[in-house]
Chains A and B, each alone.
Chain A
Amino acid sequence: MIGKAHTYKRDHINTDEIIPARYLNMDQEKDLALHAMEDIDKDFLNNVSEGDFIVAGEDFGCGSSREHAVWSLRGAGIRAVIADSFARIFYRNCLNNGFLAIESKGVADKISTKDEVEIDLKNGLLKNHTKNEEYEFIPLPDFAKKMLDAGGLLNYIIKNK
């Protein structure tokens, strides 16, 4: 999986920033996508292309449990979030949706906006094609891999019933 990075060199990007609560009267990805990140990055939607990644610092997705945060990013074309670390509920929500959340220390300092990055799930490597660098990431637990393969928690449960 190869995509372009959108880097926020910041910790604690919270779910109110990813999708403000005033839009929680909607739950469709296409509707939520129109407002993703709008309070902290007005140009986000203009800059994002299908298949891109978000790169950020520690504790990405802290705050509210709203899964709308994952849906708004996915709706906007984002295919994975790569961060130093994730808040717990957001991380769960990613896996439960079959959406990639990759944890790699120091990544917000290493990957710049517009860098072309490849996520090599098999080898647990992030390959920065622009800078010609490689970074390891914390491998996903087996259970999480199975969930991703199934396309999320509910499909996993149905498959294994």
Chain B
Amino acid sequence: MGSTITEKILAKHSGRKKVVPGDLVNAEIDVIMCHDVTTTPAIDMLEERSIDKVCDPKKIVVMPDHFIPNKDIKSAEMVAKIRRWVKKHNIENFYDLGRHGVCHALLPEQGHVTPGKTIICGDSHTSTHGALGAFSTGVGSTDLAAAIATGELWFKVPETILFNLTGKLPFGVYSKDIILYIINRIGVDGALYKSMEFKGSVIDELTIESRMTICNMAIEAGGKAGLINPDQKTIDYVKSRTNDEFELFSSDEDAKYEKVYDIDVSKLEPIVAFPSLPSNGKKVSKITENITVDQAYLGSCTNGRIEDLRVAAQILKGKKIASETRMIVVPATTEIWKQANKEGLLDIFMDAGATVSTPTCGACLGGHMGILAAGEKCISSTNRNFIGRMGSPKSEVYLGSPATVAASAIEGKITDPRKYLLVT
């Protein structure tokens, strides 16, 4: 019996030849990513217990992102504490304001993700990095503190669900639509405690960035991780970002899966997830009601990368967003911001009447930089539409692809993006 990529990486990192689902392992952690919100309590926990050492400063990558630029005094104190901690422990990988970005976009961009690594962060969307063939999972502050101190963490080896995606992705349908479709099909706890593995000709065709969008939202189906077996695209991407050596792990042909979904994407449409669960996806052609939007939000660790901005700019070029709608564009990292500026995308957004912000998690989680009032609706390229997620508990968030967000901004209501993509 073969093993899945998840089992192979966990076996390697716990010094075992083979592990099977259910095994409790203590795995070595290669990358410990730290952002502002969950790291500050972890630092306190360690200091309260007089644990004054970090396992290895080189393993730790620190990037405040949730409430930056500091949204208030309390947030400022949090980041100030992190700065002191980084200095004290000689942590070199520190991305402060000016080099900043949303952690899950920044980590791979800056070459910290290589295939076969184990990665943790005090953030549920850490599943993103499985797109490069790593085992990457979100944890809380206590786990984060334990990993910082010991360089290890306990895991129950999860079962794996395989999603085999075949067919041809239709025009105007993106990886965001694929993952919204999958979450709709299996539910927000459809992969609870499980590792989700994505493969097939559709995945092969996707860019690395599009793959990240899919793995990013594995947690929205309850998944522990979302992984894609590395291929030449992975190797090329990683080698363009780092000189570090890495080992490739892939699932065996005869690996044991808890379940296999064969999905033909040929008839897929743009999907919009209605409030208040990411699983409330509807095909855009089936939306008969007029859903006016007060805000269109393009950004986040799910869809704030350069290819997302390019698609939105293609739709918005020479157009104006609706007079009753405001649009906020948040490039996910400083590098993406600069690249978008170089390509003229930021001008396109601002000429259309949108505003462009500095990278931040910001309004995606209702922090700052675009909070919704009671009764307001937002079409968003982000990952969650829970009650109160982007502001007032009486506001509503609809999730869609960057193309859907851009088209909806133009019309001031939730709109099928395909008609705007046809016009050249």
Contact = CB atoms under 8 A, between A and B. Distances in A.
Interface string A1-33: 000000000011010110011101111000000
Interface in B36-59: 37-38, 40-41, 44-46, 49, 51
B140 A92 contact: yes
Contact of A154 (B45, B154, B366): B45
Chain B interface size, as a band, is 35 or more
A26 B388 CA distance: 18
Interface stretch (A72-80, A83-91, A109-117, A121-129): A83-91
A65 B38 contact: yes
Interface string B99-139: 00000000000000000000000111010000000000011
B387 A39 contact: yes
A97 interface: yes
Contacts of A63: 124, 384, 386
Interface in B118-167: 122-124, 126, 138-143, 145-146, 149-150, 154
A3 B63 CA distance: 42
Interface in B213-236: 222, 224
B168 interface: no
A39 B124 contact: no
A101 interface: no
Interface residues of A, number: 40
A48 to B, nearest CB: 19
Given A87-B189, A89-B138, A154-B49, A25 B71 contact: yes
B277 interface: yes
Contacts of B150: 157
Contacts of A24: 37, 66-67, 367
A46 B155 CA distance: 38
B81 to A, nearest CB: 10
A102 to B, nearest CB: 17
Nearest to B73: A25
B88 interface: no
Contacts, number: 124
A65 B388 contact: no
B30 to A, nearest CB: 19
A142 to B, nearest CB: 9
A148 interface: no
A66 interface: yes
A104 interface: no
B222 A87 contact: yes
B140 A66 contact: yes
Contact of A85 (B67, B124, B192, B393): B192
29 contacts: A12-B188, A12-B189, A16-B386, A21-B365, A21-B389, A24-B37, A24-B367, A26-B74, A27-B41, A59-B189, A63-B384, A65-B123, A65-B124, A66-B37, A70-B140, A87-B192, A88-B224, A89-B124, A92-B139, A96-B142, A141-B24, A143-B154, A153-B142, A153-B143, A154-B51, A154-B142, A154-B145, A154-B146, A157-B146
